[in-house]
Chains A and B, each alone.
Chain A
Amino acid sequence: MKSSDTIAAISTAYGFSGIGVVRVSGKNVSKLIKKFFGKTLKPRHAYLKKIYYQKKILDEVVVIYFKKPKSYTGEDMCEIHAHGNPVILETITDLITSNYARHAKPGEFTERAFLNNKIDLLQAESVSDLIASSNISAAQSAATSLQGEFSKHIKILENMLLDLRSKIESSINFPEDEIPEIDKRTFKDMITNLEKNFKDILSIATTGEVLNQKIKYVVVGRPNVGKSSLINSILNTESSIVSAHAGTTRDSIRYDVKIDNFIISITDTAGLRSTRNLIEKEGIERTKKSLSEANRVLYVVDAKVGFTKSDEKLIKKFEIKNYDVVFNKIDLLKEKARIQKTKHYSAVFLSAKNKIGLKFLKKIMSEHYKSNNSLESTVIARKRHIENIKAGLEQLYIAKKHLDNYHLEFFAEEIRIIHKLVSSIIGDDSITEKMLDKIFSDFCIGK
C-alpha cells in the first residue's frame, strides 16, 4: 500500500476548456517534480514543460511549484496547467497517482488547508457545501459505474473473497467444530482464481473504457424526415445512405464524431412506425435497443409537418427520454435557423440537406457535454476503484507468500484487507457481518 499522504486531483471543472489544472499536495511533490521534469523548480515560478506518456509527448504544460507552508493547503504543492482536455488531464492524474500520490477525496484539499490553518472556518464551510453536493454525485457515480460489466466482476470477486474468508475464519474461530479442514492446495487454487479475476478486472477497467466515456446520441424520428441526412451533414461525408424513399435505413448505424473539442457517438436508426414488414420490424427492434443505451436522443421531424400528436405518441410508446427535437427541412419553409427552448426540450430548426443551422445543434450538444456530471464522476469513481483493485492484487502476492509458509493468521490478515479494498468499491464496509453471515449459513457452528 502506498504512502497515503500525497493527494492529486483535477481541480478545474470537467469538460473541454482552455486550460485544465491538476493539483498535487503532500510530501512527495518535490520527488514528483524531479521525476517528471528532470530538475527542481523554483517555488512560485511558472515553467513551460513537456509531459510524456508512453515515450510520446502528451502535452505541453505550465508547472508551478509551491513550497510549504506558502501554498493553498500549507503543504508542498504543485499545479500542472495543461490543455483543458479531459483525456489529457485524466492521463496526467493517472501518471501521478500510479507512483506518487493517491486520488484526493472530495474536499480533501480544502480540508488540509483548513487543518493547516490556511483558511478560516467560513471559507471551509462554503467549501463544505460543495463537498456535500459532490457527495450526492459521488454516490450516484458509484451507482452508475457499478452497472454493467465492471460491477458484475466486482461482485464475483467479492463472493470469491467471502468464500475464501469464511473458510479461513471459520477454521480460526471455530477449531472445535467439525468444519472440514482446508488444505493448502484448496487455498492455493482459490488464490490462483482470485489473481486471475483481479487481472481481468484491471484489463477491462484500463483498456480505454474509462477514458473513452462519451455521450451517446441516438437519432430517431418517423421515416424520411431526414435522420440520415442530418447525420451525414454532421459527419460531413456521404457515407450513410441517403434516399428519398420511406424506410431506407433499416439498421442502426453508429458513428464516432468529433465536434469542436469533444467526441460523441451518434447512431442512425430506422424510421419509427408500426410495420408488418419483417425486416423493418427488426430495424425497429434495433432502434429500441439503441434507445435504451442512449444518453441523449435527437428526435427529428419534418418542419413542414411539425411536431404532431402522433410524434408525442411515438415518444411515449418508445419511452424516449432526454430528447431534443430537430425541425428539419426548414429550407422548404423559408424559416430561419434557430434554437427555441420549450419546457421539455430544445427545438433546433435547421436544414440537413443545405447545411443550414448545424451550429445551433452543435451548441446544444456542447451544453450537454458540459452538464454531464455523471460522466465526470463515473470516471473519477472508476479511478478510485482501479486504485483499490491494484492495491488488492499487490496484497494478494503477499498473501500467497504467507500461505506458502502456512502462516494462517498473516494469510487471513492479507485476505481481510483485500476484502475491504474490494467491498469499499461497492461502498459497503460491513465485511465482518457479511463474512459471519456466510460462515453461519455454510457451516453448522456451535456447541
Chain B
Amino acid sequence: MKKYDVVVIGGGHAGCEASSAAARMGCKTVLITMKTDSIGQLSCNPAVGGIGKSHLAREIDALDGLISVVADKSALQRRTLNSRKGQAVQATRIQTCRDHYKLNMQKALQGIKNLDIYQATISSIISKNNIATGVITEAGDKIFGKSIILTVGTFLGGKIHIGLKSFSAGRAGDKPSIELESFFKDYSFKIGRLKTGTPPRIKTASIDFEKLEKQNSDPHMPKLSYLYDHYGVTYNEIKQVPCHITYTNESTHDLIRTKKDESPLFNGNIVSKGPRYCPSIEDKVYRFSEKKQHQIFLEPETINNYETYPNGISTSLSEKDQMKFLKTIDGLGSAIITQPGYAIEYSYFDPRGLYSSLETKKLENLFFAGQINGTTGYEEAAAQGLLAGINASLKIKDKEPWIPTRKESYIGVLIDDLVTQGVVEPYRMFTSRAEHRLRLREDNADTRLTEIGYKLGVVTKDRWKLFITKVDKIKKETRRLETIDIDVNSKTSKLLHERFGLKLKNKSNLKNLLKMSDITYEDISKLQCFGITANSDIGHIVANNIRYEGYLKRQDDEAQFFSNAQEQRIPPDFNYDRIKGLTNEALEKLKEVLPGNLGQASRIPGITPATITLLKIALKR
C-alpha cells in the first residue's frame, strides 16, 4: 500500500505547480498522471504570458514556481506588450518551443526532492466521513494521501467536436476521465459544462512567408522569471524563431458563412458556453460581420519549426472545410493541415464549492486546481496549482491556510473572484479585474510575495538569498538618490528647467525629483550629479516604487471610502443563523459562499452594506 503526504492527480500546469510546491514544502508527494510523457504539455498555443497572464506568471515565479523558469528556458520569441501604456499594465509574452517546454518541465520536476511521478489513470477518490484519504487507479490500485489535489483539466467528461462528428476525449489524442466524473456526480458536487477550442496546425514548410509581416523578439529580450532579469542568473538561450502575421479576408468569411449549419457551435450540437475573449473564427465572422478581415498570428510550435500554430482561427468546422478556408488566406494558399482544429466540451466544478484555500467544502482534504474550477489558461491553472500545493501542505502541518488578498496579488484576485462569484464562461485573468492594478506590477511581484513564500516554506533558500540581495540593492540605490541634492540655482536646476520645464522651488534631492515629475530614471542618470550606479534594472524598480507610492496611498483611501475592515476574517464554521436581522436572501447567499473575510462577503452579488454592518457586529463576539 502506497502512502504519501500529498497526492496530486494530473500532470498539466496546475498539477506540475501543485506537486512541486508541496514537495518544496517538505511533503512527501506523488504526481499521478495518465501519461508521464505528456507532463507539461501545452494543450493549446505554445505561448506563456501576455497581459494579466504574465502578471500571474511573475507571481508564481516569486513563490519559486516553475512556469516562468521553464518558459524562459524554452523561449523562441520574446515581447513586451503595452510598453508605452504604463509599468503596471505592461506585460511579457513568450512564444515557447512546445518540445523544450515539456522537456524542461519534466526535468525540473525530476530534480525535486520528495517528489515521485507515477503513471496511472485515477477512477475514483477514497473517502470516509466526508474526508478524502486516497485515490483508486483504473487498475484498482489504491494510493493514500493526507491531502489530495485534483487537477485533471479538460478531461472530465471531455467531448471533442470536429464538424458534425463528435467523440469523447480529454484533448486531442487523450482519453477522457468518465469514471472519475461519475464519482463526483454521485457525491453531488455542482458540475457545469464549458467549451473551448483550438485551431488546426499547419505544416510550416507549406506556408509562404514571403509577403507576410514578420515579428521578431524585442531587442531587450524580456524575461518572465526574476532569476534571469533582476537576479542576474544566466542560462542558455535557445535559437529565436520569429512569428508572422496574416489576415483572413472576405472570401474566407464567405466560405465560413455558407457552413453555418455544419459548425457544431451554431447548429446546436454545442450548447456550453465558451470564452468570449477567445472566439472561434465562426464566432468572429457571424458576430462581427462588418469586419473585413481578422488578424492571424502564425506562431512556431517548436524550435524545429515543423508545425505552425495559426493563432486567431480556432474552429470546429470539418477538416475539409478547415482546409478550404485556410487556402483563401494570404501565405496559406498551399497549406497542409497536420492536425485539425476542434472544439471541446468539458465538465467543471462550480468554484463556489471551494474555500479560498481551494479545499472543497464537501470533502475535507480534497483540493481542486486548474481548469476544473472553470478557468482557462496555463497561468491561471498554474497559479491555482501552486496555491493548492501550498495549502494542502499547510493543512497537513495543521497550519492556517494561506489566502492571498486582492491587494497583494493577481493570484488573490483570481481566487477571490472564483469562490465568491463563480463563473459563467471560462475565466481568464484581465488586468481590469484587479482594483489594485497599480500596485500589482510585473516588476514588484517578488517584493509582494517572496517573503511570504519564504515564511510559508514554499520559497527555497537559494531564491531567498537572491531576493534579499536585490532588496538590498534597491534600498541602497534609494538612499543614494536621497543624498544627491540639487540646488535651486545650480546648473543642473537650469538644465532641468530647459529640458523638462521643471522649476525647482526648493533644494531637492533626486528621489523627490522622481516623485514629483515625469522625469524617468534614465533621464536623471544622465545628469552630471548622478554619479555611478550598479544596475539600471534596479534603478527602474526604485523609480517605479517612488512613482507609484503616492498613488497607492490614494487607492487605500478609496478602499476606505467604499468600505472598511475588508480583511477581517470570518471563520469557516461561523454560524450565520445567529445574526439577528439578516434578510433570508442575505442569509442564503452567505451560507452558500461562506466568505473567508468581510471583503469577500461584501463582493457577493446582492449583499448590502447594512448586511456587512450586521456581520461585523456579530463577528466581534
Contact = CB atoms under 8 A, between A and B. Distances in A.
B88 A409 contact: yes
A409 B84 CA distance: 10
Given A132-B614, A408-B86, A436-B432, A175 B81 contact: yes
B544 to A, nearest CB: 12
B461 to A, nearest CB: 36
Interface stretch (B200-208, B276-284, B366-374, B388-396): B276-284
Given A409-B438, A444-B288, A111 B551 contact: no
A107 interface: yes
Given A1-B557, A135-B583, A444-B279, A105 B613 contact: yes
Given A105-B613, A420-B562, A114 B432 contact: no
Nearest to A398: B554
B89 A430 contact: no
Interface in A423-447: 424, 429-430, 432, 435-436, 440, 444-447
A156 interface: no
Interface stretch (A8-16, A165-173, A274-282, A345-353): A165-173
A165 to B, nearest CB: 8
A417 to B, nearest CB: 6
A139 B89 CA distance: 37
A405 B518 CA distance: 8
Interface string B290-313: 010011110000000000000110
Of A106, A107, A114, A134, most buried by chain B (CB within 10 Å of CB) is: A107
Contacts of B50: 176
A358 to B, nearest CB: 42
B617 A114 contact: yes
A444 B557 CA distance: 36
A77 B86 CA distance: 44
A1 B558 CA distance: 7
Interface residues of B, number: 61
Contact of B616 (A5, A111, A134): A111
B558 to A, nearest CB: 6
B117 to A, nearest CB: 33
B610 A176 contact: no
Contacts of A60: none
B89 A409 contact: yes
Nearest to B579: A128
Interface in B422-441: 430-433, 435, 437-438
Interface residues of A, number: 54
B437 A413 contact: yes
Interface in B570-591: 579-583
Contact of A409 (B288, B437, B581, B582): B437
A68 B159 CA distance: 67
B275 interface: yes
20 contacts: A1-B554, A4-B557, A105-B609, A107-B613, A115-B620, A121-B621, A131-B610, A133-B581, A135-B610, A171-B85, A172-B432, A173-B89, A173-B432, A176-B297, A412-B437, A432-B432, A432-B433, A436-B430, A440-B276, A444-B288
Interface of A: 1, 4-5, 105-108, 111, 114-115, 121, 124-125, 128-129, 131-136, 138-139, 169, 171-178, 391, 405, 407-410, 412-413, 416-417, 420, 424, 429-430, 432, 435-436, 440, 444-447
Given A176-B50, A444-B279, 15 more contacts: A121-B617, A121-B620, A125-B581, A125-B617, A128-B579, A132-B582, A138-B608, A173-B52, A410-B438, A413-B551, A424-B562, A445-B276, A447-B45, A447-B295, A447-B296
